[in-house]
């Protein structure tokens, strides 16, 4: 397996709707802390985790943005969103945090066509 | 090659995400709520030929869809067949 | 082959742990090894020793425990996900000054690193989640 990329974590759940987002990001951060190189793919509602204007929610719903901002410190710099997701959510790339790379349909499929470890949250 | 395991209804977000990820040569296994696809022989997944699609027999039987699946001549595997698919495909991704 | 299972659904609320248990028995029946089950997200509720389903329903915690006793399968529970949801071992209860706990052996509280280790050690990691 290509050492330059050990793990892909797919995030498909939005902030403030469940704990999937937080616990998915935790898995990515722990893997990075263990020295694995991690790519994040935000699909569907998961792309909303990258909204740069988001904040804390109802009591007990912590803000996600501080965790997103921390990714770079863990050397997680591959943040991908399918073009299709951006279109479906009608959210411009400019509304998302810096450093997000949109992917075409075939680029998304290519991510799944080579053997790599994957967690799907 | 990846075994994609779908656990939600055929038109759910997760089903559409699985479709974005699946490549020719992969396989799709429908379990839990996803076996309701047995009632809809016109779904795209039954018409395409890029990858095989299977329904989990035990989940079909539990929900009363086994006759529908055989009527529409849809492929099924039992739980042992599920294990065999995971032997055959090096990787699996569960979509939920 | 060595298999690992990642279980992320709560029993009686979601089908994932029930499906996972059926799959666990099927891989053992085909002569494979089950190197471990990791409980994450709502899957941590599988470990609660206070779960008390009606007598005509399977006690899924007991079913996991039997899998451990008969096949030596480690049952690891993510500590952060568990504590957040009120699934607490005796030592964690003591640390937090609680009078009760609901996670006992053979379930073990452990970190997410254990999941990564399981994933790397097994030839197959199968996820059950809803």
Domain-located, residue A28: yes
Q: Is the separation of the CB atoms in C41 and A23 below 8 Å?
A: yes
Contacts of C43 in chain B (CB under 8 A): none
Sheet of B76-77, strand order = B76-77, B53-56, B27-30, B2-6, B91-95
* Cα atoms found within 13 Å of the Cα of residue C33, Cβ hemisphere only: 10
Query: Which ranges constitute the DSSP H helices of C1-130?
Result: 16-29, 60-71, 79-84, 90-96, 113-121
Please state the domain count of chain A: 1
For residue B94, which of C64, C107, A12 has the smallest C-alpha distance? A12
CATH number of the domain to which A28 belongs? 3.40.1260.10
pLDDT range class, residue A4, cuts 50, 70, 90: low
Q: Determine the average pLDDT of the residues in A93-97.
A: 97
pLDDT tier at A7 (50, 70, 90 boundaries)? Answer: very high
Q: Is residue A2 part of a domain?
A: no
Determine, yes or no, domain membership for A59.
yes
Instruction: Note whether residue A48 is domain-resident.
Output: yes
CA angle centred on C22, ends C19 and C28, rounded to 5°: 135
User: Which range marks the domain in which residue C25 is found?
Assistant: 2-129
Once rounded to an integer, what is the mean pLDDT over residues A55-60? 94
Q: Scan residues 30-59 of B and list those with Cβ closer than 8 Å to C.
A: 31-33, 58-59
Asked if residue A1 belongs to a domain, the reply is no
Quote the CA–CA distance of C11 and A81 in Å, as a whole number. Answer: 33
> Which element (helix H / strand E) includes A36?
none
Taking only the tens place, the pLDDT of each residue in A74-91 is 999 999 999 999 999 999
C78, C112, C128: best to mutate for the A interface, most A CBs within 10 A: C112
C-alpha distance from C80 to closest chain B C-alpha (Å): 22
Q: Count structural domains, chain C.
A: 1
The residues, any chain, with a CB within 8 Å of residue B58's CB and separated by 6 or more, are: B78, B79, C22
Average pLDDT value for chain A: 94
Q: What are the phi and psi torsion angles at C40 (to 5°)? A: -135, 165
CATH of the domain at C7: 3.40.1260.10
CATH code of the domain occupying B2-95: 3.40.1260.10
Whether residue A1 has pLDDT greater than 80: no
Q: Which two tokens stand for residue A81?
A: 């969103």
Full domain range(s) for residue A31: 7-120
In the predicted model, residues of chain C with pLDDT beneath 50 are: none
DSSP single-letter state for residue C95: H
Set of chain B residues whose Cβ sits within 8 Å of the Cβ of A115: 90-91
- Asked if C116 lies within 8 A of A19 by C-beta distance, the reply is no
Which chain B residues have a beta carbon less than 8 Å from that of C3?
86
Residues in contact with A108: Cβ distance below 8 Å, sequence separation at least 6, in sequence order: A41, A80, A82, A84, B20, B21
pLDDT at A2 over 80: no
What mean pLDDT, rounded, does chain B reach? 98
Residues 89-118 of A with CB under 8 A from B: 105, 108-109, 111-113, 115, 118
Q: Given the residues C24, C47, C60, C78, select the one marked as catalytic.
A: C78
Whether C122 is catalytic is: no
Q: Do A30 and C112 touch (CB under 8 A)?
A: yes
A116 confidence band (pLDDT: 50, 70, 90): confident
């Amino acid at each position: 397996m290509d050492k330059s990329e050990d793990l892909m974590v797919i995030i498909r759940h939005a902030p403030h709707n469940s704990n999937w987002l937080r616990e998915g990001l935790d898995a990515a951060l722990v893997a990075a802390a263990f020295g694995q190189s991690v790519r994040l793919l935000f699909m569907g509602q998961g792309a909303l985790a990258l909204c740069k204007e988001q904040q804390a929610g109802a009591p007990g719903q912590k803000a996600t943005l501080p965790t997103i901002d921390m990714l770079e410190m863990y050397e997680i710099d591959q943040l991908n969103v399918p073009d299709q997701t951006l279109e479906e959510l009608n959210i411009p790339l400019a509304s998302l945090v810096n450093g997000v790379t949109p992917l075409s349909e075939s680029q998304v499929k290519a991510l799944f066509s080579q053997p790599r470890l994957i967690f799907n949250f | 090659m990846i075994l994609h395991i779908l656990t939600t209804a055929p038109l759910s977000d997760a089903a559409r995400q699985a479709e974005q990820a699946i490549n020719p040569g992969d396989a799709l296994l429908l379990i839990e709520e996803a076996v309701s696809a047995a009632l809809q022989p016109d779904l795209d997944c039954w018409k395409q030929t890029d990858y095989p699609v299977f329904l989990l027999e035990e989940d079909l039987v539990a929900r009363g869809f086994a006759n529908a699946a055989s009527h529409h001549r849809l492929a099924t595997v039992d739980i042992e067949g599920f294990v065999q698919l995971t032997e055959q495909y090096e990787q699996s991704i569960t979509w939920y | 082959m060595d298999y690992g299972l990642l279980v992320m659904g709560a029993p009686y609320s979601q089908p994932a742990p029930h499906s996972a248990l059926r799959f666990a028995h099927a891989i053992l029946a085909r002569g494979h090894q089950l190197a471990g089950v990791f409980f994450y997200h709502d899957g941590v509720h599988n470990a609660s020793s206070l779960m008390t389903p009606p007598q005509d329903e399977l006690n899924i915690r007991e079913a996991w425990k039997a899998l451990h006793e008969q096949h030596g399968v480690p049952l690891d529970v993510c500590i952060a996900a568990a504590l957040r949801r009120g699934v607490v071992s005796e030592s964690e209860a003591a640390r937090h000054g609680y009078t009760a706990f609901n996670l006992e052996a053979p379930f073990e509280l452990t970190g997410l690193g254990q999941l990564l280790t399981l994933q790397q050690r097994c030839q197959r990691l199968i996820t059950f989640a809803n």
